Homo-oligomer: A and B are copies of this chain.
Amino acid sequence: MREPERHAETGVRLLIVCPDRGGIVAAVSAFLFDRGANIVESAQHADPDDGTFFMRMEFDLDRLPGGRDGFERAFAGEVAERLGMRWRFDWGERKRVAVLVSRHDHCLLDLLWRWRRGELGADVVGVVSNHSDLRGDVEGFGVPYTHVPVPSGAKAAAEAELLEALEPGRPDFLILARYMQILSPGFLARVGVPIINIHHSFLPAFVGADPYRRALDRGVKIIGATAHYVTEDLDAGPIIEQDVARVSHRHGLRELERIGRDIERVVLARAVRWHVEDRVIVHGNKTFVFE
């Protein structure tokens, strides 16, 4: 007879945001200790500016008598409500991700390559594109590819089709791996999962289109890339990760793009790994990354 309520859990994560006050760590760690949890990793941050406390804990459990639901109910009743917490347990289920892409292949292939070698920590359930160029590459990895064109003037219909294309994969989050379409607020509301975008500049510099061209025109000595969560405000969502590289007057537009591609894929990979490992807490328009 199967006894799911007694199995062990590993890699459970608990994320907490609450008003800062004494006793938070003591209350949480006592709750976990009483249930036989072994804390593997713990990090916290108290923001002096607005008095908010953030915590991420990762722990193993030898047994789970009341099941996950019982565990969560007990945590709410014994700890969270009293301390005014916004909280979330992640029980270590492998996350599912769908990737949206246009024509640039570098971020997409890099993600698929990391996924294949087991480095991504999530399952790629599908790729959707407004172009058909990369179908062969994607299917070569054994990943379903759906072409959803976005004809001029027909964005609403295209977004409806996009939602349909995403549905069977039941993704836990989306990655825009250089998807060159702006998603409408309506789409964001209906898709209902976090979306990570890679922007090819060190935001907030060069918000919007053509950042490499504008970097060249401005004569900057450093270019960069930014991975951020998508919000209704274009390129203004919470920044997860950024990195940069030096350039000089010797580099033309194509060199900037080439150098930038290497930054983009590394920045995106880091942001995705942190998201997958529940290391990112969003608060206001900022992220707290417990890497």
Contacts and interface: CB of A to CB of B under 8 A. Distances in A.
Looking at chain A's contact residues, is the secondary structure mostly helix, strand, loop, or mixed? Answer: mixed
A221 B239 contact: yes
A240 B41 CA distance: 22
B221 A252 contact: no
Interface in A2-35: 21-27, 29-30, 32-33
Contacts of A54: 249
Interface residues of A, number: 66
Contacts of A156: none
A117 interface: yes
Interface stretch (A66-74, A162-170, A185-193, A281-289): A281-289
B26 A33 contact: yes
A222 B202 contact: yes
Contacts of A204: 205-206, 218, 220
Interface stretch (A45-53, A75-83, A91-99, A176-184): A45-53
A30 B26 contact: yes
A197 to B, nearest CB: 15
Number of copies of this protein chain within its complex: 4
A153 interface: no
Contacts of A242: 220-222
Interface in A194-222: 202-206, 218-222
B239 A220 contact: yes
30 contacts: A22-B38, A25-B25, A25-B33, A25-B42, A26-B32, A26-B33, A39-B44, A42-B42, A43-B43, A45-B249, A45-B250, A47-B249, A48-B252, A49-B252, A106-B113, A202-B202, A202-B222, A202-B244, A203-B220, A204-B205, A204-B220, A218-B239, A218-B285, A220-B242, A221-B241, A222-B243, A244-B244, A249-B287, A249-B288, A262-B266
